[in-house]
A = this chain, B = another copy of it.
Amino acid sequence: MDYYSKQISKLIDELSSLPGIGSKTAQRLAFHILNMPEEKVNRLADTLVDARHNIRYCKTCYTLTDSEECPICRNASRNHRVIMVVENTRDLAAYEKTGKYEGVYHVLHGAISPMLGIGPADIKLKELMKRLEGDVDEVIIATNSSLEGETTAMYISKLIKPTGIKVSRIASGVPVGGDLEYIDEVTLLRALEGRVEL
């Protein structure tokens, strides 16, 4: 790319190494950044560096946060006896957006995947079991509805059952507003199996 000067090429290269940013998008972003006021670019760079530098796992639920304990775990009005297990912080945020869940979370940072060589020891499972030594009424498993998510859910439920703590799994079925015609067969069968009496 010697039609761009060295620093522009470098900027485009760095941007296109980010996920979902192809070479065209990287070029568009690069020229946008080059046309931004310098102090805005400096602020963006500082935000990147600061966020990365200060990020850590919440000591309780292992979500990504910038303090020792995350705002949800610190919140006394949440129900700390109900723990929802999710694969990552984005999934936690998805449930938080509903505004209806009042328990706390546990973030696994992954799911068991024999294919990718990710075993139970590679996710925050030991840490979950440790938490269950305290007062917990229910563990809601909200891993994804993928092969890995299901495997992880099965594994965790088997691990928890002996402790006598209630374990549940979020329902899987037809999404609200979903048109049956466009929904895959596995989901349709899952919805049928999980039917509830009216």
Contacts and interface: CB of A to CB of B under 8 A. Distances in A.
A interface majority secondary structure:
helix
Contact of A64 (B14, B21, B34): B34
A129 B7 CA distance: 29
Interface residues on A, range: 35 or more
Interface stretch (A35-43, A131-139, A149-157): A35-43
Nearest to A13: B47
B38 A52 contact: yes
Q: Which 10 A-B pairs have the closest CB atoms?
A: A3-B96, A45-B45, A41-B52, A5-B65, A11-B51, A7-B66, A7-B51, A5-B66, A45-B48, A3-B93
Interface of A: 1-8, 10-11, 14, 18-21, 25, 27-34, 36, 38, 41-55, 64-67, 70-72, 88-90, 92-93, 96-97
